[in-house]
Amino acid sequence: MSNMKTATIREVQHHLAEVLSCVARGEEVAVLRRGKMVAKLVPPDPRPPAAPDFLARARAVWGKAPAGSSLSDTVSASRGER
């Protein structure tokens, strides 16, 4: 935490734009209340979250080819009525 910037809750309230500018530049900011860290502002992860692999998940549950019907029919049947 030595190279992390710190700010009190009051400083964050009064200088939010400045604090967010630091975060936007890639810095982490620890938010302190009475000298103890209560939050940490970090820049967002530049990579988009990976899309879930629904086909692999379905195959893990029901196998490569469920007996008797298509995979989409099996999924629909397992969901029941909505």
Distances from the Cα of 70 to the Cα of 29, 52, 54, 57, angstroms: 52, 21, 15, 15
pLDDT digit of tens for each residue in the chain (82 aa)? 457 899 999 999 999 999 999 999 999 999 999 999 999 999 998 888 888 898 888 888 877 766 677 778 878 888 877 6
Give the pLDDT of residue 60.
Answer: 87
Non-local CB neighbours of 22 within 8 Å, separated by 6+ positions: 5, 29
Q: Please tell me the CATH superfamily of domain 5-41, with its number.
A: YefM-like domain (3.40.1620.10)
Please state the pTM of the whole predicted model. 0.55
Per-residue tokens: 62: 């029901």
For position 20, what pLDDT does the model report? Answer: 95
Distance CA 78, CA 69 (A): 12
| Residue extents of the structural domains in the chain | 5-41
